[in-house]
Amino acid sequence: MKAAMSSKDGIINTVSANIPMAPLLRLLKPNGKMILVGLPEKPMEISPFALVAANKTLAGSCIGGMRDTQEMLDLAAKHDVTADIEVIGAEYVNTAMERLAKGT
């Protein structure tokens, strides 16, 4: 992640686990934005300095509730829309990013 520091205009964070936010905020360029759509159960610890120092924005978006999600899954099943999914732990994010960059 060191190579990617201050390189992203925006991040859509879909992680619903309690993970440290500081490393992700460091990936944003000045004036960058992070949108949270995965919401953890516990309160998040965020340093205001991590946002204010480079005019970064942290916002959230509600992408749909259980009913919307079920409707989307039903539609996908009806039309045989599938996806390959791999669930990884937060501790493997660096490995996942390397694999993504390599296309593997």
CATH number of 49's domain: 3.40.50.720
Q: Nearest-5° angle of CA 45, CA 29, CA 90?
A: 45
Look at residue 63 and tell me whether its pLDDT is greater than 80. Answer: no
Where b means 16+ CB within 10 Å and e means fewer, 32-59 reads bebebeeeeeeeeeeeeebbeeeebebe
Report the number of distinct structural domains present in the chain: 1
Residue 66 is part of which domain span?
A: 2-102
Residue-level pLDDT at 58: 94
Look at residue 57 and tell me whether its pLDDT is greater than 90. Answer: yes
pLDDT > 90 fraction of the chain, expressed in percent and rounded? 37
Residue-level pLDDT at 103: 82
Structure tokens at 9: 């205009």
Q: What is the pTM of this model?
A: 0.61
pLDDT > 70 fraction of the chain, expressed in percent and rounded? 99
